[in-house]
């Protein structure tokens, strides 16, 4: 206990921002100049030629040393946003909370940020200690210290091919440790999202979260409730589309971070079929991301929330609510509940709804309905979702297989497939009742189609 206290006091007293950084040569960090995108290199050279400091910084340096492929390249400099803007024709200043410059070069956009300090006098915090505003320029050492983890505070200079390291980040990375800069409780209080970042980065790079940084997470998890929903959503989306969603969520669960945050997971993970479905979907997503394919957030959230919709829908049908309106009511209710915890954007909600609404239409294998479904712009997403449902054991595999064959078959073969379908007694009864009507009218009857259309 005393040792712990001493360690904490010692850490606080550490003159972190005045320490001399290590300058690590290429043979020790292993990054080759060619690993850095040409645009990021060029941005550094132009800034340096104009007399500024400029480094590739953050996630890219970390990922390269860890042997991973960086998602993008960020540059940090002592030039102000206006000075950066003046040096690059294709650039613009963006952001209100942090003003940074986007420099466009070919197809790439490089984010250039000015060294910032975490100045406690000038940065304002909310009543929980969360930093609300910290746009205060600082020295390079201060910029390193305001970053979250030691492995994220590394600066690569493409001119000298050295890494400037203020917090032993290279050694931590080589020892597979994710260590917080500063006192972890305080750093989580300032920004609770750092808890999620810790889990994501550890899972992504196979790092162990240092015990000092890991221990407080469980007790501080509730601070995530004070984070704006939109920011939480961005972070969760990053986590789910990191290509490492499965290990990330496993660790979120281990750290006690999943409850409340992802209410869908609380519920789903307790249901065997639901759990299987979610993990399958996440494995699928990870494989796609790693193969460099795009993933649709709408599809992903549609899978994560599907079993809640199913449960709600089944309850409604058990109360004798008509099936189609019951489905739409269930979808609405699930999305509304979710929206209180996680701000799913309107666009993504529309995508989710579309994928869900297509599901009952796959069961109609008679008349013109299957042809119309094939022509739906979202057919592919709906079909992929259907297959996942089958793979998880929710529905028979025969259904997606049938659609596979139907999509591939020629005109005559399609007709034969439709004829071969056993008659659904309910549908047949409906048809009998409708007999007096004209045929065309009876055929247009996909009521889900009409409702799905009006939902859009």
Contact positions toward Mg ion, by CB under 5 A? 59
Query: Which of 58/370 has CB closer to ligand ATP?
Result: 58
CB of 220 to ligand ATP, least distance (A): 14
- How far, in Å, CA of 350 to CA of 380, rounded? 16
Among 100, 106, 11, 105, CA closest to 57: 100
Identify which of residues 42 and 197 has a Cβ nearer to ligand ATP in the complex. 197
**Which residue sits closest to ligand ATP, CB atoms considered?**
59
Which residue in the set 29, 194, 214, 307 belongs to the binding site for ligand ATP (CB under 6 A)? 194
Q: How far is the CB of 79 from ligand ATP (least distance, A)?
A: 18
C-alpha to C-alpha distance for 373 and 378, rounded to whole angstroms? 9
Q: How many residues bind ligand ATP (CB under 6 A)?
A: 13
Task: Count, in order, helices (H) and strands (E) of the chain.
Answer: 24, 14
Is 401 in the active site?
no
d(CA 300, CA 249): 14
Q: How far apart are CA 153 and CA 135, in angstroms?
A: 18
Catalytically annotated residue among 63, 78, 134, 148: 148
Question: Measured from the CB of residue 188, what is the shortest distance to ligand ATP in angstroms?
Answer: 10
Q: Least CB distance from residue 445 to ligand ATP, whole Å?
A: 48
**Least spacing, CB of residue 223 vs ligand ATP, in Å:** 13
For residues 89-127, one letter each, b for 16 or more C-beta atoms within 10 angstroms of the residue's C-beta and e for the rest, the string is: eebeeeeeeeebbbbebeeeebbbbbbbbbeeeebeeee
Of the ranges 147-155, 307-315, 349-357, 359-367, which one interacts with ligand ATP (CB under 6 A)? 147-155
Residue 293, both tokens: 């394919």
Residues with Cβ within 8 Å of 232's Cβ and at least 6 positions away in sequence, in order, are 193, 224, 261, 342, 343
**Would you count residue 334 as binding ligand ATP (CB under 6 A)?**
no
DSSP characters over 377-400: TTHHHHHHHHHHHHHTTSS-THHH
Cβ proximity to Mg ion, 101 vs 386, nearer residue: 101
* From candidates 71, 176, 231, 433, binder to ligand ATP by CB under 6 A: 71
**Which residues on adjacent β-strands are paired with residue 56?**
75, 156
- The answer to whether 240 and 285 have CB atoms below 8 angstroms apart is yes
| Closest CA relative to residue 255, chosen from 307, 297, 203, 290 | 203
Q: Binding residue for ligand ATP (CB under 6 A) from 8, 185, 238, 253?
A: 238
Among 35, 134, 142, 148, interactor with ligand ATP by CB under 6 A: 148
Q: Is 64 in the site for ligand ATP (CB under 6 A)?
A: no
CB atoms within 10 A of CB 260: 14
Rounded distance, CA 412 to CA 190, Å?
Answer: 66
Cα–Cα nearest to 43, from 157, 151, 142, 132: 157
In the region spanning residues 149 to 178, those forming contacts with ligand ATP, defined by CB under 6 A, are 152-153
Using CA atoms, how far apart are residues 269 and 254, in angstroms rounded to an integer?
A: 13
Nearest to Mg ion of 242, 281 (CB atom) = 242
Closest CA to 57 of 36, 42, 39, 38: 36
Spatial CA neighbour of 309 closest among 337, 324, 331, 281: 331
Closest CB to ligand ATP among residues 153, 170: 153
Task: Out of 40, 75, 193, 282, point to the residue binding ligand ATP (CB under 6 A).
Answer: 193
* Catalytic one of 35, 74, 165, 191: 74
**With binding defined as CB under 6 A, does residue 191 bind ligand ATP?**
yes
Residue 76, SS3? strand
Q: Residue 193's binding partner, choosing from Mg ion, ligand ATP, none, with beta-carbon cut-off 5 to 8 A by kind?
A: ligand ATP
Give me the 1-20 binding string for ligand ATP, x by CB under 6 A, dash otherwise: --------------------
Contacted by 284, from ligand ATP, Mg ion, none: CB < 5 to 8 Å by type = none
Adjacent-strand bridge partners of 349: none
Site for ligand ATP (CB under 6 A): which residue of 29, 35, 55, 58?
58
72 catalytically annotated: yes
- By the rule CB under 6 A, 33 interacts with ligand ATP: no
Window contacting ligand ATP (CB under 6 A); options: 24-32, 192-200, 408-416, 436-444: 192-200
Catalytic (active site) residue 148: yes
Residue 59 or 169: the one with the smaller Cβ distance to Mg ion is 59
Which residues lie near ligand ATP (CB under 6 A)?
Answer: 58-59, 71, 74, 147-148, 152-153, 191, 193-194, 197, 238
Q: Which residues are catalytic?
A: 72, 74, 148
């Amino acid at each position: 206990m005393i040792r712990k206290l001493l360690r904490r006091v010692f850490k606080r007293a550490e003159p972190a921002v005045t320490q001399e950084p290590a300058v690590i040569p290429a043979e020790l960090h292993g990054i080759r100049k060619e690993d850095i995108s040409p645009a990021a290199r060029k941005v550094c050279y132009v800034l340096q030629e104009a007399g500024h400091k400029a480094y590739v910084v953050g996630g890219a340096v970390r990922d390269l040393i860890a042997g991973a492929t960086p998602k993008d390249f960020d540059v940090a400099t002592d030039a102000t946003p206006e000075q950066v803007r003046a040096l690059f024709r294709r650039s613009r200043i963006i952001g209100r909370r942090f003003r940074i410059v986007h420099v466009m070069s070919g197809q790439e956009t490089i984010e250039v940020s000015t060294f910032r300090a975490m100045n406690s006098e000038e940065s304002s915090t909310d009543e929980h200690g969360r930093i609300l505003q910290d746009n205060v320029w600082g020295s390079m050492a201060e910029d390193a210290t305001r970053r979250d983890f030691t492995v994220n505070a590394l600066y690569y200079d493409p001119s000298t091919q050295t890494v400037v390291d203020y917090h032993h980040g290279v050694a931590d990375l080589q020892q597979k440790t994710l260590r917080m800069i500063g006192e972890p409780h305080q750093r989580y209080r300032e920004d609770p999202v750092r808890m999620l970042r810790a889990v994501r980065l550890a899972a992504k790079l196979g790092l162990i979260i240092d015990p000092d940084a890991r221990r407080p997470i469980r007790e501080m998890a509730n601070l995530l409730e004070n984070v704006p929903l939109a920011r939480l959503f961005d972070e969760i989306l990053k986590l789910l589309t990191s290509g490492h969603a499965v290990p990330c969520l496993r660790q979120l669960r281990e750290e006690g971070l999943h409850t409340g945050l992802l209410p869908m997971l609380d519920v789903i993970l307790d249901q065997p079929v639901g759990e299987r479905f979610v993990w399958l979907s996440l494995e699928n997503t990870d494989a796609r991301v790693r193969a460099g394919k795009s993933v649709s957030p709408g599809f992903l959230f549609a899978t994560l929330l599907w079993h809640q919709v199913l449960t709600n829908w089944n309850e409604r049908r058990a109360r004798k609510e008509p099936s189609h309106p019951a489905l739409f009511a269930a979808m609405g209710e699930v999305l509304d509940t979710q929206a209180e915890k996680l701000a799913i954007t309107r666009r993504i909600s529309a995508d989710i709804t579309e994928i869900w609404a297509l599901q009952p239409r796959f069961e109609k294998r008679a008349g013109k309905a299957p042809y119309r479904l094939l022509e739906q712009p979202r057919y592919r997403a709906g079909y992929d979702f259907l297959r996942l449902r089958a793979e998880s054991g929710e529905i028979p595999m025969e259904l997606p297989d049938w659609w596979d064959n139907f999509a591939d078959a020629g005109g005559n073969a399609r007709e034969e497939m439709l004829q071969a379908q056993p008659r659904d007694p309910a549908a047949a009864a409906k048809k009998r009742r409708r007999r007096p009507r004209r045929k065309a009218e009876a055929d247009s009857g996909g009521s889900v189609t009409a409702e799905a259309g009006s939902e859009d």
